Chains A and B, each alone.
Chain A
Amino acid sequence: MRHLLSARDLDRDTAVRILDTATEMAATQGREIKKLPTLRGRTVVNLFFEDSTRTRISFETAAKRLSADVINFAAKGSSVSKGESLKDTALTLQAMGADAVVIRHHASGAPHLLASSGWLAGAVVNAGDGTHQHPTQALLDAFTLRRHLTGPETAGHDLAGLRVVIVGDVLHSRVARSNVDLLSTLGAEVTLVAPPTLLPVGVSAWPCRVSYHLDEAIDAGPDAVMMLRVQRERMSAAGGGFFPSPLEYSRRYGLDARRLARLPSHALVMHPGPMNRGLEISAEAADSVRSVIVEQVANGVAVRMAVLYLLLAGGPKEENA
């Protein structure tokens, strides 16, 4: 594995290996001394062109727990705001010797460009590109599901037989795309629920079911419901006019207290964050005992430690694809 650009690139065995490595990493995070020396002397650059506190801190924490040196690059206040191109930014980082670049960018395909252009010699990790993919988010979601729902011994296990419902703005969601790819690769059955305007033309070709009705999806008794953030602005004409009002969206697609109560008792409530409390998810659901939202964040560090470890320290040496 040279780069992590898309959940679509992960086959079942590779995905399970990442999750198993994350389990080992998570175990070290329960100790008093959380640091491992594995990536000492290596440099990881967080190249974030989009605002993100949570993901950037998660990657920074993961890299530091492995003893790597971390450089944080934020687009605002850098030469990018003066018009510097992605190419020149990448060449500058390469000249400073980055072993891995974790990139979040508003343009779908930007990590792909970094990995294939020859501008960088190190590993490229996609921390979210446009509306395309967010593979480490899907990995931490899969990790969370596995921890709770596949029994006490998770090592080597995938998600076969689990039923997951993903609700929200699928059209604009890289989290949805990565999760559909990864969860189905791991054997789960995924159902997407959204108003028709927020589903992409071509979704019928995806390895999942599609429904316009959240109540039906909940009454089918899923093992987990994952709520996606919906931007209020998408309601307005300027934002694209995707739904008539936030209230109508919440009524039809929000995880409110009534829907929460109808979920099976073992079902998990998930959300990649940040949440719009009251729009796609009610406070009752976000704060309920079924909610693993805060745990998802913690699992993110372990999963990102696993990814950086496998990319930079390699584990058992394998042939490069």
Chain B
Amino acid sequence: MTYLIRQARLLGGDPVDVRVEGETVTAVAPRLETEGARAIDAEGLVLLPGLVDLHTHLREPGREDAETVASGTAAAAAGGFTAVHAMANTNPVADTAGVVEQVWHLGRRAGHADVFPVGAVTVGLAGERLAELGAMADSAARVRVFSDDGMCVHDPVVMRRALEYVKAFDGVVAQHAQEPRLTEGAQMHEGVVSAQIGLPGWPAVAEEAIIARDVLLAEHVGSRLHVCHLSTAGSVEIVRWAKARGIAVTAEVTPHHLLLTDETARTYDPIYKVNPPLRTAEDVEAVRAGLADGTIDVVATDHAPHSREDKDCEWAAAAFGMIGLETALSVVADVMVAGGRMDWADVARVMSTTPARIGRVDHLHGRPLAAGEPANVVLVDPAARWTVRPDAQVSASRNTPFGGRELGARVVATFLRGRATVLDGRPVDDVGAADGAAVTS
């Protein structure tokens, strides 16, 4: 199928015509002839490289009642993503070549987005000994990002070994920073709100202390470090300090931490229960500033589907987590672009180019929008306004904190290697990977 995308604003800039033939962008110019291509009117729309999520939970294997690789990647495509990194806290845990290859195959077969499985750092996420990181790196899944997300690699010796070991294959350890002893039984951010509403608190220092330790370890052993879902002002300052010292640390922030505060917990509605928790207005401002000035490198969704019964209950009994693939771009557009802190080129940087580089998939995704490049692109209507409906999610789960909220910017079309996974704002039904579509490394 050949497409001609007409007059799209490249990275929010000047309008161009873009021809996509087969899997590749074959031409980008102010005006192109249609020549038998299917024309897509993109006047007023923004063209970005396909988004890359460094932090997604696809729940398969083990919790297919909440999400599968197929439904999760369909949700990703709806949100403008062409690639997702699937976290390892599945059942069984993705701590062997066998499980990561299974997840990778499921992604290829579903064909909605490229799935790059994340390998667990430790066996069973227990934090005691290293999983076979080398085997996972050498597998068909070619794992480069390793994380025990959900759990913190809290033992300093284990974290040191992991940071050292992955250097052999240019891997990176992505840390879920949560000192477990300081957060036993924690339900929400520890502060004025938690004191009043009687929920045990998760203090900011439990995140900051681990990040401080980890950046110093990374410096000492000469490794890369990635910080998952950074949420506090103090964490932003620590990362800023570390980067100024030349430490190879990168950091991500979620859309919900860019927008929501711990005041939402006053409703006791567990839709707002998440780990790390929603923080104060000061923390929200600090992460926004950090994303704008580059201290925080990427936006990552931490898309965390949960079945209805895990959220339709009292707060203490509810699971932690929010879905976010379908709303991520809109939230970033509302908070950062409409807020005047970033432009669309910056959005491409933090949601596509940089995450692809950190995950070492930048030979396939986050590429420049130019002739000869793989056609992994997304068309966005920057002026659209839409209301989030929990029961109308592409994801198999409903636990979005933005239900009923009006957001700006909407994905109009997503292309994965030249094949439309979303057209006219709706998922394309008969997506199945042509098995010739090899995801090579």
Contacts and interface: CB of A to CB of B under 8 A. Distances in A.
B316 A108 contact: yes
14 contacts: A85-B309, A109-B315, A109-B316, A113-B313, A113-B314, A113-B315, A131-B198, A131-B200, A177-B196, A200-B195, A201-B190, A201-B194, A202-B193, A205-B196
A203 interface: yes
Interface string A83-117: 00111000000000000000001111110110010
A86 B313 contact: yes
Contact of B194 (A85, A86, A116, A200): A200
B312 interface: yes
Interface of B: 190-201, 203, 267-268, 309, 312-317
B309 A133 contact: no
Contacts of B315: 107-109, 113
A200 B317 CA distance: 22
B313 A132 contact: no
B195 A201 contact: yes
A108 B196 contact: no
Given A108-B268, A109-B268, A201-B191, A133 B198 contact: yes
Contact of A205 (B192, B268, B317): B192
B317 A108 contact: no
B312 A174 contact: no
Nearest to A133: B198
B316 A132 contact: no
B203 A201 contact: yes
Contacts of A113: 268, 313-315
A85 B316 CA distance: 13
Given A112-B268, A202-B191, A87 B312 contact: yes
A131 B195 CA distance: 9
Given A112-B268, A201-B190, A201-B203, A107 B314 contact: yes
B314 A110 contact: yes
Interchain residue pairs A-B with the least CB separation, the first 5? A132-B198, A109-B268, A202-B195, A200-B195, A108-B198
A109 to B, nearest CB: 3
Contacts of B192: 202, 205
A130 interface: yes
A113 B315 CA distance: 9
**Size bin of chain A's contact surface:** 20 to 34
A189 interface: no
Interface in A201-215: 201-203, 205-206
A158 interface: no
Contacts of B193: 202
A87 B310 CA distance: 12
B198 A177 contact: yes
Contacts of A169: none
Contacts of B317: 85-86, 107
User: Which of the listed residues B190, B197, B316 has the most CB atoms from chain A within 10 Å of its own CB?
Assistant: B197
A21 B191 CA distance: 37
A141 interface: no
A280 interface: no
Contacts of A109: 197-199, 268, 314-316
A203 B312 contact: no
Interface in A1-52: 8
A171 B203 CA distance: 15
Contacts of B194: 200-202
B398 to A, nearest CB: 16
A223 interface: no
A108 B201 contact: no
Nearest to B315: A109
B201 A201 contact: yes
A203 B195 contact: yes
Contacts of B309: 85
Given A87-B313, A107-B316, A174-B198, 16 more contacts: A86-B313, A86-B317, A108-B316, A109-B198, A109-B199, A109-B314, A109-B316, A112-B267, A113-B268, A113-B313, A113-B315, A130-B198, A132-B199, A200-B194, A202-B195, A203-B195
